[in-house]
Amino acid sequence: MSFEIRQRDMLARIGKIKTKSGTIETPVLLPVINQAVQPVSPRNMREEYDCQALITNAYIIRKQKGEEAAEKGVHKLLDFDGAVMTDSGAYQILVYGKVEVSPEEIIDYQERISTDIATILDIPTTWKTTRDHAEYTVEETIKRAKQLEKNKTREDILWVAPIQGGQYLDLVAHSARQMGRLPFQIHALGSPTTVMEQYLFDTLVEMILTAKMNLPPERPFHLFGAGHPFMFALAVALGCDMFDSAAYAIYARQNRYMSEYGTSRISELEYFPCSCPICSKITPKDMMHMSIQERQEALAKHNLYSSFAEVRRVKQAIIEGRLWEHLESRIRSHPALLQAAKRLKKYEHYVEQHSPVTKDSGLFFFDSLGLNRPEIVHYKRNLDERFTPPKKSEILVLLPQPSERPFHKAEEIKHLNRRIRQDFPLEQELFHVCVYAAPFGVIPLELDEVYPLSQHEIATPMDLETVGYVAERVKDYIAGSSYKKIVLVEDEAWKGRFSSVCKRLKRKGLSITVLSVREKLNDRVLNDVMNTLKKLVT
């Protein structure tokens, strides 16, 4: 299999997966097809929605269509010429406890119906299962995965290895490591449906990232049952290249209207907040007067439009380098999603290591949630591990950020540097001028053109968590340095936080002078700085 990646942002990847029926561009949504109750035909999905791939259940097809499907092939059976992925019946095991097919039989059947992407018959880890049973599901699934090479006969089908373990993250990690050693082309998170149905998105973050951290990074990752467009951005940001959904049809049967921000009942709507071909022609009242079948079909079509539109928005955000900003706009639609985004703090270093170092666009910083974004974590790590102040510098002059960027070109910074050269011609190497700025902390002027230190916008006034973070970063920088004296100019926007954290710094021979001012960096403030420096030098 070839998985060609052309763009990244966070753990998201715009890439291409080649199958025998065509190329799929990721991230990709695969609508679930249920032949028994299918409000939108696969052909219609292909023609009207440009659907690249869909997923259906090989176990159900085997029970309902048997040899007919094997003779026709799944593409002709569904009347769909894109890529087809098949599930093996594991969901039926999850719901009913068992299926009437063996692992070997379902492998053979998926080959006979000529699917493009096939799944082994894994044993799902149910949400409330005991640890002993969870261990069984993991080991049995690994055992079945190892048998695939002996049982399969075709080489043109991509095989999916589900990762089991459920809420037991150590078992998820073990499952991922073992599966990652086997020659599968795609991996998937097994049994996440209950987690998502209960809106346990913080647990979902843990499960996905635990699996991702222990799998070969070059293989695509599928999330079963992702469902709702309001969580697509989160799933993609976590590295889910593929995800399927039956929600468009299930919600339609319940008179529920999907949008990228949540779900509404048709009876509760007066206006449709959408301009898709369905919503632009009728009102919610008109839809309620349709027959049940007409209403379900119209709702299913809208729900598909909403889902595919959100996938395109996510992809465009990746292209622009603004996936984090798009993610922030989505997660604030539900507290459970915001709670999940906060869980990213635990994995910030892993996400940072797999994120682009630079982008074509600057970043927008709104509040303390953004402190977890990869660019800020990357700068923090590099400053701590790789930056060394000039060798002869003994006095750190730490100023609030000026209005102009890059900071070293600001008139007040240039003016201060001129005065230092004039007043201390022999001692100017003793001084090291830096600024502090949200959300990064200390910014040496030597680095202020490094991305994104001069390529960002921040909302003010800052929240207290952001103020506290910057103050702690200043403290950590000073604590890890070899300066002998510190002159720190603190303006009123920082609410005395620097004075507070500096009091906790106890290093032998370290002198700290804090100048509290109400103004920005004007001539009077710079005069106070110069007078303080003269006292320190003499």
Distance CA(455)–CA(146), nearest Å, equals: 49
Q: Is the peptide bond before 284 cis (omega within 30 degrees of 0)?
A: no
Nearest Cα to Cα of residue 410 among 494, 531, 521, 532: 521
Print burial letters for 456-490: b (CB count within 10 Å at least 16), e (below 16): bebeeebeeebbbbbbebbbbbbeebebebbbbbb
Distance CA(361)–CA(320), nearest Å, equals: 7
**pLDDT score, position 311:** 97
Which residues of the chain carry a pLDDT beneath 50?
Answer: none
Active-site residue, 132 included: no
**pLDDT score, position 1:** 67
Nearest Cα to Cα of residue 301 among 31, 22, 16, 25: 31
Distance CA(438)–CA(116), nearest Å, equals: 49
Structure tokens at 495: 């609410």
Element (H, E) at 187: strand 186-189
Distance CA(139)–CA(146), nearest Å, equals: 11
Neighbouring C-beta atoms of residue 254, cutoff 10 Å: 12
Distance CA(205)–CA(525), nearest Å, equals: 48
**pLDDT score, position 516:** 84
- Cβ proximity of 29 and 308 under 8 Å: yes
* Active-site pick, 9, 87, 202, 491: 87
**pLDDT score, position 507:** 76
Print burial letters for 413-451: b (CB count within 10 Å at least 16), e (below 16): beebbeebeeebeeeeebbbbbbbbbbbbbbbbebbebb
Distance CA(199)–CA(334), nearest Å, equals: 9
For the whole model, what pTM was predicted?
Answer: 0.93
Print burial letters for 81-115: b (CB count within 10 Å at least 16), e (below 16): ebbbbbbbbbbbbbeeeebebebeebbebbbbbbb
Structural domains of the chain ordered from first start: 3-270+304-321 (3.20.20.105), 363-537 (3.40.50.10630)
Print burial letters for 316-349: b (CB count within 10 Å at least 16), e (below 16): ebbeebbbbbbbbbbbeebebbbebbebbeebbe
